[in-house]
Structure 1
Amino acid sequence: MSNWLLNRLFEAGDQPEPRFAFQGTVNWMRALAEVVNSGVCDKENLKLLYKEVQRRNMNPEADNWVFENMHMAYNNLAALNTLNNDAIDKYDVCSSAIVSWYYVIYFASSAMIAASSGSKQENHTATARV
């Protein structure tokens, strides 16, 4: 892939650094890996953490919201797997992979929130606040 377009945009002045999203995503992935590798996500630790959590009341609307968000998370995960397996040059799909990774996290988080509380956030900011 040629860099003529990026060069032209940079020559126009005051353009954002295109590596920022990549660096931020790598930092998030490393942080999540450290959490997972620390053992807090092991099966026994999760059982201890969640054994006192009470189930919410039946709520078909919230359940549908959970399933919808999990479906979208899985779709984005499938996109990540395809990008990883089929791309000859990973750099060519890096931006798309970052977007897919973000949406895997976003939709999975929205599903977990709906599963635990039954609430539905209407936008990314509301999900992040919860």
Structure 2
Amino acid sequence: MTGNYNQLLPLLIACFLAYVVTEVFRDRPIYEALLRRDLQRTKNEHQLDEPVVREFTVAPGAPFAGKTIRELGLPPGCIIVRCRDGNREWVATAYTRLEPHMHLTVLVAPTAVQGISILEKGCSAAEISVSEMT
């Protein structure tokens, strides 16, 4: 980036500090936040050309908190492949009970795109308005 090695150490330190700050605040990545804001503005349904992997976090007080995966009503092709909490991670089963602050990794096929909306609503504690996001 700089054309010489004199700035390599400060550049590495800046990258490391940026990583630490994002991990400490556990904030949504910028592109995901911008996508969510754009989708809320346009109210368009999600459209997929190929399968995607999405991350969700079950908020305290969310409709899905305390339910098993089997009870969520997800469409075929929307598969929760991994669950993790602060200390461990595991492969989800139909009987895995979702708890607040649990992180879910979901594989969504193009035919199951409505599963993204179901998961967004079920994992959120309350609707977020566009004014709160800006």
Query: What is the TM-score normalised by the length of structure 1?
Result: 0.25
Structure with the bigger percentage of helix: 1
Larger radius of gyration: 1
